[in-house]
Amino acid sequence: MSVLQTDLYTLTMADTFVRHGRDDLVSFEVVFRRLPAGRSWLMVAGVHEAVQALVDLRGTADELAWLRADGRFSPELVARLAALRFDGTVWAVPEGTCVPAGVPVLRVTASRVQAALVEPVVLSVVNYGTRIATTAAEVVTAAAGRPVYDFSLRRLDGPAAGVETARAAWVAGFAGTALPEAGLRHGIPTVGTMAHHAVMGHGEEHEQDAFAEALADHPEGTALLVDTYDVERGVRRAIAAARATAVPLRGIRIDSGDLAAEARRARALLDAAGLAETEIMLSGDLDAPAIARMVADGVPVDGFGIGTRLRSGEPLGAVYKLCAQHDTDDPELRHVMKRSPGKETDPGVHQVTRRSGRDGQRPAVEHLIHLGHEAIAGTPLLRPVVRRGTPVAAALDLAGARAHAAAERRMVEAGARFVPASRSPQLMALRDRLSHPAALSPRDALVVVDVQHDFLPGGALGVDGGDLVLGPIGRLLDAARQAGATIVASRDWHPAGHVSFAERGGPWPSHCVAGSDGAQIHPALDLTGATVVDKGTEPDVDAYSAFDGTGLLELLRERGVERAVVCGLATDYCVRATALDALDGGLRVLVVTDAVAAVDVTTGDGDRALDELRTAGAALATAP
């Protein structure tokens, strides 16, 4: 890879990194955010090409001279590029692996300059290779055991893509390629038939002579192209040429017309001539649906050549995003994330673990994205392919990739359903800590739930760590007042002998009795301008939600509130119930995770409540 095979802004950023001493260690991950319509998986390829580009990263004398002459780059950057050799680490899923959207498929950990320079090439080859492998895998499945060959070179966007296309298709299950260079570089079997112009050069009346020459010169297995003029006549002349030369007619190819009908006529002629072993290959703008129809209809075809449609379909849009970096005073990687709406990234260095399950009668394939240090049961997919600049040969073995892809295809062909990727609770908690709520607006309501003495440590029903929410809630109150948002505080306001109390068979000790000190909201919270709503005021009616019997939903609707920002105590009871009721009432909901605390009667109840709220449609974030 040339140091100039990158975007200009990458070079200008690299110059800034070098000038300011910011060439520290970083990690970037490649992720397919979304899949083309109608797809639930992609078959990953292009990893080999990405690794090759990284280890070949160099700046030639001419390139360095261009950088100097351009005038925009510092001598320090040019010197750095002159000595540049990739010495980072790369992890990737094995080529041939099928993955759903959102799964990291490759990670580069290297100096900031190196990792930034390689972004365009890494994305180019992984996007392209994966697109080809996915299409090729679908074609191979459609062919139902019949060999499929790569005829695509003349249909590609430039000859440089030929070898990459042939390799990705071979990984996915193609039986060979028409490109000799791919045979040289990767040992892929090469195949060939003949072109129409070779027949036309003899003239229509001498088509048989063209066939005879081809058979005599290449008796090892040339397939004759029989559709230059008329398929039926071409087949008869191919049979005659084989008899005249005494060379077995191993195959014919049909490239135009009604391929199914022509194949049936050709098969009948060949069988009548005693050439039942002669194979019929079809080509001509074929794709997986067309091939599947032919197979289902019983068309007598023995193989397919795929050209134009091998690169068809919607281009893929994998992204290469920073996920972790060193701070100058911290030897540990610091997690980072992008928060742009619709383009959020997962913070941290990840692993992807595959687990098998069932979806009714169908096998289901689940992928869990989690932090690399988490011990998760299942099959980890990301594996090292480059260590300190040196490729891991076993991880890049072409035969191994092809065998792995075959196993993945069999899984898909067995009807496996790819479940959308999920994230571990630790990763979700990290996302929540690094996310921040958008600035509150007049269309928001800050709902502070039950921050009362009895729910704080030392109270009748004290929540461990409940006092830790006071600081974040105080910041939220300040932000709400500055934004002109509605502020609501709820409180339990129970009569003596309330139905929830243990003395009446309820689950809780007596707490928050109306008018008592325990029922008062903590004075550290400045509730100036807030509306206070009381719940649980009826002796025989329990109520956890701030919306239960308080008229709060009607109040918020009158004020034009569109989103409830919920905080307070306790996560697994009153906060949970309040957030769910807000969602049921048509409000958007944001739960502020560092401004809530859980009772945790059973360990993990608070985390499970947050998971439930997230699934129900609530957003989770931290206080500003």
* Mean pLDDT (10-residue bins), the chain, 624 residues: 89 90 90 90 96 92 94 92 93 96 95 93 95 96 96 85 94 95 94 89 92 91 90 96 94 95 97 96 94 97 93 82 71 62 77 85 88 92 94 89 96 91 85 69 96 97 95 95 96 96 95 97 96 96 95 96 96 97 94 93 90 86 82
Beta pairing, strands 379-380 & 362-371: unpaired
The SS3 assignment for 611 reads helix
User: Token pair of 202, please?
Assistant: 């003899």
d(CA 575, CA 317): 39
Q: What is the dihedral of CA 372, 375, 378, 384, to 10 degrees?
A: 30
Whether 450 is catalytic is yes
d(CA 511, CA 454): 6
Q: Of the residues 346, 535, 548, 572, which is catalytic?
A: 535
- The dihedral of CA 596, 597, 599, 602: what is its sign? positive
Whether 338 is catalytic is no
Domains of the chain: 8-132+317-418 (3.20.140.10), 134-311 (3.20.20.70), 436-621 (3.40.50.850)
Q: Which of 24, 215, 203, 2 is nearest to 111 (CA)?
A: 24
Q: Of the residues 150, 255, 346, 450, which is catalytic?
A: 450
Using alpha carbons, list the distances in angstroms from residue 597 to 384, 420, 570. 40, 30, 5
Other Cβ atoms less than 10 A from the Cβ of 496: the count is 12
Using alpha carbons, list the distances in angstroms from residue 41 to 135, 171, 173, 429. 11, 16, 17, 27
pTM, entire model = 0.74
pLDDT attached to residue 528 = 92
Whether 323 is catalytic is no
Identify residue 455 by its one-letter amino acid code: F
List, in sequence order, every residue forming a beta bridge with 486; answer none if it has no partner: 445
Alpha-carbon Rg for the chain, nearest whole angstrom, is 33
Alpha helices, DSSP H, located in 83-195: 112-117, 119-143, 161-172, 180-186
Q: Of the residues 492, 574, 581, 600, which is catalytic?
A: 574
The SS3 assignment for 452 reads strand
Burial class (CB in 10 A: 0-12, 13-18, 19+), 114: buried
**What is the enclosing helix (H) or strand (E) of 202?**
none
